[in-house]
Amino acid sequence: MGWSKEWEDTYRTGSHLSIWPWSDMVSYVMRYCRPFPPGFKVLELGCGAGANIPFFLKMNIDYYAIEGSATIVERLIDTYPSLESKIAVGDFTKEIPFEEQFDLVIDRASLTTNRTKDITASIDILKTKMKANAKFIGIDWYSTDHSEFQKGEQAEDFYTRAGYKTGEFADIGRVHFSDKEHLLQLFSSFEIVLMEQKLIKKEVPADEKVSATWNFVAELKETNEKGVSV
């Protein structure tokens, strides 16, 4: 499964080009990851148009990313030539093409474009690339309380939906939703430091849509050299 061709098409046509750091990501990193000692390394999954890059560079954090869209990676390297060897085109459900061990992994709704099987595979790979007690911060992972959950067609598993023709998920392929128990299972090798669900409903003008997402911080338990919890 892995990388969705729909996202390459989306970036090629100039859609979803968010360029400002996500405020929740900034808040969570500052609240749960400081201090940042020299050599502190962060890996971003699915960096998109690079919204979070200026924040990490400003904090003198050693930034790496893996992104499936060759189009958007080319643009990012043009903008940040110093990151040429640190932003890779790839499928993070199959490999992380860096030798480094990371203090922090961040994901703003990138793993959520995959089925459960591939999310689990990616997390297993990440555990081999994270230092003991490293943190994973997930922002805006879609909740099963989201009104769009019931509107999609079930794909390979209960939590994965597809077939959206209208709305925010139109023509982007698969969308993965989670409830609390599912997130706890996905990150069973981690200690959950914080888990918050955001529910947003427009009142004026009123509509029936409910946007529901998860933000969470998970800390990797001590591991051996193969990334297996001990």
Averaged pLDDT, 3-12 = 54
Q: Answer whether 96's CB lies under 8 Å from 67's CB.
A: no
Distances (CA, A) of 141 to 110, 211, 229: 8, 11, 24
Residue 49 CB contacts under 8 Å (≥ 6 apart), including other chains? 11, 16, 17, 18, 19, 72, 75, 76
Q: Given this model, what pLDDT does residue 10 score?
A: 58
Q: Given this model, what pLDDT does residue 171 score?
A: 84
Residue 62 CB contacts under 8 Å (≥ 6 apart), including other chains? 39, 40, 41, 42
Q: Where are the domains of the chain?
A: 5-141+179-200+214-220
CATH architecture for residues 5-141+179-200+214-220: 3-Layer(aba) Sandwich (3.40)
Using the predicted structure, report yes or no on whether residue 5 has a pLDDT greater than 80: no
Distances (CA, A) of 54 to 79, 83, 186, 198: 11, 12, 30, 25
pLDDT digits (tens, 9 = 90+) for 181-202: 999 999 999 999 999 999 999 9
pLDDT digits (tens, 9 = 90+) for 87-126: 999 999 999 999 999 999 999 999 999 999 999 999 999 9
pLDDT digits (tens, 9 = 90+) for 44-94: 999 999 999 999 999 999 999 999 999 999 999 999 999 999 999 999 999
Using the predicted structure, report yes or no on whether residue 224 has a pLDDT greater than 50: no
